[in-house]
Each structure stands twice: as C-alpha cells, then as structure tokens.
Amino acid sequence: MTGQASENIVAATWTKPLSPPEKLPTAADIVIIGGGIVGVSTAWFLAKQGISVVLCEKGHVAGEQSGRNWGWVRVQGRDTREIPMMLESQRIWEGLAEEIGEDVGFTRGGCFFTANSSKELQSFEKWVDIARDYDIGTRLINGTELKKYVPGSAVDWAGAMFTETDGRAEPHKATPAIARAAERSGATILSSCAVRGVETAAGSVSSVVTEHGTIKTSTVLCAAGAWTSMFCRSLGIDVPQLRVRGTVARTAPCENVLNGNIFDHRLGIRRREDGGYTVAHGSVLEHPVTPASFRYFFKFLPALLQELKLVNLSFGREFVDEWTTPKVWALDQPSPFEKTRVLNPSPTPSVLKGIRRNLDSMFPQLADTPIVESWAGMIESSPDVVPVIDAVDRMRGFHVATGFSGHGFGIGPGAGKAIAGMLTGKETGIDISALRLSRFFDGSPIRPESSI
C-alpha cells in the first residue's frame, strides 16, 4: 500500500509504452472501434457467445474516459431511460471479479447526494419516487443519520439522498481486466491500432480500414467515446456530441472518513481500494469551446441551461485544433486518430486548488493527507445526457454506442450486454429503444433528466 502513495497508478494506464499489433486479423464477424469500458464489455459479451470479434483501440485500453473517471457505480439520480440497463450493470459488477477471476475494485459502499437545506433535500423527493417504481432502496436521510455514515465531516448537512446498494470500482483496473476477459473468451483486442474509416459495398459495411491494414467485416460498432462524432462525420453520419473537461485527483492512503461516495456542490469524493480517496470538484464543468459547440448549440441548449451555474467556457487550443482538423481524410494516410493517440488534457490548476480547499474544509482530518496524483479527462455528452445506442440507417451494419456522459463507467458492463444483443439480434431484456439516434433529428423534445 505504501508504494501506491506516490506512484502514478492511475496515469500508468495511458503513459505506458504503446504496443502495436504484430499481426492484424483479415476478417471478423464484428469490429469494435474503441477500447473503453463500452467497447471492451461489448467484446466480452460477444466473445462469450462464440462470435468472432476484433476490437481496435488507437492508444491504450482505458486510456481515455474509462481509465480517468471517478469510479462511481450508481443508479441513484439517473435518467429513467438508463435505469434498466444500470440495474443489469450492477448485477454484472457484483459477480464480475468472480466471473473473470480478476480484481476490479467493486464494492457497494453507498451513494450520498448531500443537501445543504431542507428545500434542497425535498428536491430529491422526485427521484426517490422514481426509485420506488424500480424497487431501488433510495431514501432521504436527515443530517443526524448522515453523520453516522460520515462522522468525520465538518459540514452540518440538512441530509442526503442515499442509495445503500450503489458502489464504486477502480477504473484503472476494471476496463483492462474486462478486456483481458474478452481475450480469454476469444476476442482479439488490438491497442495502438487506430481505425481510419469504414468501407462499404452497395450501402453496407464491407470492411474497416486501420492504420495497420484492412479487416473484412459486415458489422461495426463505433464506441469511440469523445471521437465518435468526428469519426461518424467523416462517414456522413451526424452524431451530436460535445466535450467537458473534468479534473480529478487522488489522495494518499489515509484515515477512513467515509466508506462510500459523496456528491456535494463542493466535492465529489469516494473511498478507494488502496485506502485513499478519489476527489474532484463538485461544481465545475469546463467546456472548451470548439466549432462543434456552435454546430450543436441549439441541441445542447437545454443541457446548457440546466448546468449554467456549473459550466465554465474557455476559448483556446481546442478550438484551433478542431478547426484545423480535416473533416475527411484518405484512408491510406495517417488520420487524426493517430495524431492524438491518447486524449490527455491537463488538470486545471485552479480546480485542483479548489479540490484541496474543499477537501480540507469538509474533512479537516485529511488536511495533512497529500494529494499524490492528479489527471483530467474529457467527458463526452449527448444533448440529453444519455447515450446513443443504435444502428445507423444510412449505412447498413454500422452501429453507434456513445454519449455516456459522466456516468458511462458504472453502466458500461450493462451497456456491453445490451449492445451485444443489438449487434446479434438476441433478446437481452434491456430496453434501449429510447436511446435511438434519431431522437435528435425527428423533432422529439430534447429533455435532459439528469446532470452530466
């Protein structure tokens, strides 16, 4: 445990040397683009059914969002469209370590959304009613009961919304472990293998072109996280998507002041398996403005208005980068995905300062506990903050799974099961019809039910 205090155990996921594939399979039933939790979970469920699947990741498995997130595995506070998939995901998380024979750091320590006033506490009642419909044991607790769970906090909260069955897992462990499980079940997982594009014959997918060669296939899943919109645009497919930067840190192992996850407007904090805490600011979402911000402005307006107090807009390098990136490219030349192997934004110094300040004021016992590692990740979101999981009409065989927003890690294994069902046509019992891509284009109202 002591060695983990100072090592970059999280960033090691994306700073280790790249290992390009020695050999490329020439054909597969299904090719998946993207080695985040969504891609690898889908590959695992497909491989377990004996389907030949190749997953191509341009950098490292879990090198982007799936290795950088807070690690919360929660159903609490979710959009109703995600709940069935999330409940299935929790069931998978529960047995995951045993099934794959590897530690993923999953444990159920409970999830608290704190309230600083009785009015704020009452505002949670709407979601508690939803939880009741799904038989989720979410309840409101008062400040006195909350103190029993968080005795070390210096804050006198009015209470919290609390779901005892919610939990957490370790992002730097879980996604690579699922990828290895997929490999053991027969999937081919290739890192340092960017997909440049997709070829078609008579309007149907015929192959995927990677930087290392071509793989014949009739079925593609684009689970490319923050790159999905750009990849799809190069094929003439419109997938509205924007990015927000999240800064995260972890403390050294320390006194146990909380064995769960707390979300407060000052701090998001959860206990880590190594005995430290993963911490982030509770009310800062940084959106680097890019040409896509203007292109999708009206589609994202409801989400923007909802998060208005939290969103910090910045104009900088990201705008120029996106502006100067080609919209289409030749498939025999390096693509933008090889140029940026790993999307690795820097943590924002002022946000890190805020995290330290808020941690010390909320948990004074941790004031001497050092923050030993910090990083940032680009969260990608759809306009209504829930994923798109769909087949694309205009290109037979091409599918998209993206827009998981700030809550795609916990739902990842359940999404993998649902997506595998979509790709094979097999019933999974998870209804994903509300996650169709056309909802952003057919005049349906765009209504975010939960926050990013």
Ligand X SMILES: Cc1cc2nc3c(=O)[nH]c(=O)nc-3n(C[C@H](O)[C@H](O)[C@H](O)COP(=O)(O)OP(=O)(O)OC[C@H]3O[C@@H](n4cnc5c(N)ncnc54)[C@H](O)[C@@H]3O)c2cc1C
Question: For binding to ligand X (CB under 6 A), which residues are involved?
Answer: 33-39, 56-59, 63-66, 68-72, 194-195, 223-227, 231, 246, 248, 337, 377, 379, 404, 406-410
CB of 400 to ligand X, least distance (A): 10
CB of 210 to ligand X, least distance (A): 7
Name the residue nearer to ligand X (CB basis): 170 or 363: 170
Write out the DSSP string of 332-362: TS--HHHH-SS--PPPPHHHHHHHHHHHHHH
Name the residue nearer to ligand X (CB basis): 141 or 389: 389
Q: Where are the beta strands (DSSP E) in 46-138?
A: 53-56, 72-73, 111-115
Judge contact between 262 and 270, C-beta under 8 A: yes
Judge contact between 385 and 301, C-beta under 8 A: no
Type of residue found at 385:
V
CA 322 to chain centre: 22
Name the residue nearer to ligand X (CB basis): 92 or 226: 226
Type of residue found at 370:
P
Write out the DSSP string of 176-221: HHHHHHHHHTT-EEESS--EEEEEEETTEEEEEEETTEEEE-SEEE
CB of 374 to ligand X, least distance (A): 11
Beta bridge partner(s), residue 210: 195, 213
CB of 260 to ligand X, least distance (A): 13
d(CA 34, CA 236): 19
CA dist 213 → 123, 349, 373 (Å): 54, 41, 38
Among the listed residues 253, 321, 244, the one whose alpha carbon sits nearest the alpha carbon of residue 283: 244
CB of 446 to ligand X, least distance (A): 19
Judge contact between 94 and 76, C-beta under 8 A: no
CB of 337 to ligand X, least distance (A): 4
Query: Helix (H, G, I), strand (E, B), or coil: what is residue 170?
Result: coil
Name the residue nearer to ligand X (CB basis): 260 or 406: 406
CB of 391 to ligand X, least distance (A): 17
Q: What angle do CA 262, 263, 268 make, to 5 degrees?
A: 85
CB of 386 to ligand X, least distance (A): 11
Name the residue nearer to ligand X (CB basis): 227 or 300: 227
